[in-house]
Amino acid sequence: MSDLVVRAGKLDAADELAALRDRFVLDPVSDHAADTAGVYLDGNSLGVLPAVVPDRVADVVRRQWGELRIRSWEESGWWTAPERIGDRIAPLVGAAPGQIVVGDSTSVNVFKAVVAAVRMAREAGGDGRDEILVDATTFPTDGYIARSAARMTGCTLRPVDPAQVPGALSGRTAAVLLNHVDYRTGRLYDLPSLTAAVHAAGAYAVWDLCHSAGALPVGLDGHGVALAVGCTYKYLNGGPGSPAFLYVRRDLQDRFDSPLPGWNSHAEPFGMRPEYEPSAGATRGRVGTPDILSLLALEAALEVWDGVRIEAVRAKSLALTDFFLECVAAYVPAGRVESVTPYAHAERGSQVALRCPDAGDVMERLIARGVVGDFRHPDVLRFGFTPLYVGFADTERAARVLAETLAE
């Protein structure tokens, strides 16, 4: 037995979060079969099913919808679900209650936030605010949405590297759309300093938290973030296509001018008046009828966070990714793969991305052997580490199987 296998066992035995694995539906592992068990390292794309969700969804379908029917909007709390679930997410991203609404997709919420940011910047600084900056390496949809928002608001769109944002800001800048963690490389960007720079220039930062919410402390309130969006199906384990969230800082809520006003964000939604009057608070971020089935599945999934500190999750995330990089260095011949994820903790999210010339083929073979990560074009192997259910033995096995696969 290698030293790394022994260390993995000791680390798992000392892990304060190890018992959380029982809150998820995972492949069964017996002592004699541990070395052949599957390892799921794709929680940065789709989180594992929390064990409480199936029965909760069955209740929503059979009792709330099947028996109570329309009464469930009041009796089962359907109507207040977007704000109630937002308040459940809030402590995981460092926000006080009343600032997050859940609903729609990440793309839709990015559109709302970017257009609203431009409108708020112009309200304060005039029409000369005619430029939107966007992370040049962003997930494609964010780029598409930013381009459409620029056309809609008469702005020009300028892609820039996040590190270059402070030097790119000017009196023309209205909004800056940034990713907290780069989806391809796992690089963590400096949210506090970039937010401060953007706001000092009279613009508004919009942060995409898809790869950080539920993986590390964000500190939205503490760092004065104006607007943020994030998905819930990765580290928050809300299920495929679960609704995204929108954060609007409390002091900006009365100025948040959504480009998608809907009856659900009306001050009197059942007044059915032709004139739109926005509601107060974070509910301005709502649009149409909430997607109740997926919302309530997400609400159940969030119960796995009961009693869990996000700081402990971050500590384990860094320990797992450190250990994985150490195991890769020990098992994989030098030069066969290259980490594009920073080694510095301050610059690392909760994934490790390895550059490999034949990455697509390698990932297919890894998945066939039970180690599930994913491939990003053209040459990146991505491994996401979700501390709530990934252990150190999983991590060692994944690195060892990677080495064996590369040697085939």
Q: Which of 15, 130, 135, 208 is catalytic?
A: 208
Q: Known catalytic residue: 394?
A: no
Residue 339 zone, left/alpha/beta (φ > 0; ψ -120 to 50; rest): beta
Q: Known catalytic residue: 142?
A: no
137 three-state secondary structure: coil
Q: Which of 40, 233, 235, 383 is catalytic?
A: 233
Q: Which of 40, 111, 139, 245 is catalytic?
A: 139
Q: Known catalytic residue: 208?
A: yes
Q: Known catalytic residue: 7?
A: no
Which residue do the tokens 């040459």 mark? 379
Residues 18 and 12 sit within 8 Å (Cβ to Cβ): yes
Helices 292-301, 81-89: inter-axial angle, 10-degree rounding: 30
Q: Which of 382, 383, 397, 400 is catalytic?
A: 382
Residues 392 and 323 sit within 8 Å (Cβ to Cβ): yes
DSSP secondary structure letters along 173-203:
EEEEEEESB-TTT-BBP-HHHHHHHHHHTT-
Best CA proximity match to 45, nearest among 389, 374, 324 = 374
- 3-class secondary structure for 77-107? CCCCHHHHHHHHHHHHHCCCCCCEEECCCHH
Q: Which of 119, 234, 284, 316 is catalytic?
A: 234
Q: Known catalytic residue: 316?
A: no
Residues 189 and 179 sit within 8 Å (Cβ to Cβ): yes
Active site residues: 139, 208, 233-234, 382
